[in-house]
Amino acid sequence: MIQSADIREWRDHDVVDPKGHKIGVLEAIYVDTATDEPAVATVRTGLPTRQRLVFVPLDEAVVGPDYLKVSHPKGEVRKAPSIGTDDVLPAEGEAEIFQYYGMPYEPGAGGERKLARR
């Protein structure tokens, strides 16, 4: 498992898919609030004048010499839920990310958020 402190150092490095195709650039890490482990990353994609942040799970992610390799193909990630580069993930948007990738989603017992940006 990649430690959250380690993966934050990879901000602005390339994010690639399992075949090595560049998806974009690592923007931020969201940790699971229950475990404080890295769960999801945002990847900056698009043209310089029309960039957005797409979400990708960090399950099975591998850190390389100058990249972060995720386990989802480029086409799937590019169609994932996204936010603007200056936007914040709304609480109601969390479930959509988990649903898109077929992952179980359970907020905290008191309705707390599942993800926190680090």
pLDDT at 109: 64
Comparison of pLDDT for 59 and 110, the residue scoring more: 59
pLDDT at 66: 87
Percent of the chain residues topping a pLDDT of 90: 53
Asked if residue 1 has pLDDT above 90, the reply is no
Average pLDDT, stretch 81-94?
91
- Shortest CA distance to 38 belongs to which of 59, 19, 18, 65? 59
The pTM score is 0.88
